[in-house]
Structure 1
């Protein structure tokens, strides 16, 4: 859930009536979510992923991290489509990035874009320990200008097998309009947080944290856009905070 928020926003006083915002799943049952983690996710989690998850959990902005079950899904998707050239927008400490790098073949590459190298550096020792740092090309800066740079070279268009977007929600639609040109036909784009803690289904006057309300409209907007975009097939899953998978068909 990489949303570029401040610690003060997370600690806002507005009540949330439907569930704890810190929960890494939309499942209403903590017991059921923990069952999934303890039975199917944690026993197969790479030791370096666990170490990175533990370190990230202690960070004041840990809400931005990709959940372990979603990381497992990303790894499976990358292997299923035999991805070799991938792009990630929004890195934070790098849990999803490490999931990707571990899933890629030895000659696979992931281009990782984030506005903060500081957070990426927290996870870098685990990435190096896992022996996959050579697969990662990290670039610091605003993603939209970096994407524009990629698009200026015609050779980059239609070359990415998989794109994962987990960054500022107010730019999701702008990201889509660019990455749709970068992903190949038959390739996959994943947008994280598309159910936005369930707030997308709540009435406008429902109580919610301020940062949830601030970005809610953008998430609803991109959901509507993806649903009618004839260039893609979509599947929206209630994994983590919601992930929408888009397969480019045209």
Structure 2
């Protein structure tokens, strides 16, 4: 299994002069440093980081990872960054947004699943969160920010089995430059590739988009 961290974006909503993934948690680790450590502790040896904005800062601070560069990070979104990372892979792929802070139990649950996974938090969501909806058998049938009456938030931690990586590559190639990778998952779902939600609500997990998210993350992961 390969782990991919998507960290190419500018992260302008947080208003930092450096990538969000380098934000330092109260424990002294950066968000990315924590992600890499938890992947390694879970047995994933190869961690690929997709960089763009101020890439040298990330690479110098975390030299113990493999890197892919998205040279058009400033006009593309996570769909194209993920494509950079997986277009030549033939292994199971677990990927996360570079601004997600999570407990080790989140990663353990995703790794242990024997199917394609979208980790979810079953909570009431606002307009900004990516939401999802399932059918009667528990398979995800929709995922996007625009879903009404969603069942919860897709938290930005996902896994695709090796057999479905080519389908993910094709779907990401269909995405527009500014699409999030969830649009690629939508295409796969429409093509009858099954994804199941993994409820991680009992674990700590937060995506840092805004200053208030960062304040909550600092409180949540204070020690």
Q: What interval of TM-score do these two structures reach, taking the shorter chain for normalisation?
A: 0.3 to 0.5
- Greater percentage in strand: 2
Whose radius of gyration is greater, 1 or 2?
Answer: 1
Q: Which has the higher helix share?
A: 1
What TM-score do you get using the length of structure 2 for normalisation?
Answer: 0.33
What TM-score results when the alignment is normalised by the length of structure 1? Answer: 0.31
Greater length-normalized contact order (CA 8 Å, ≥ 6 residues apart) = 2
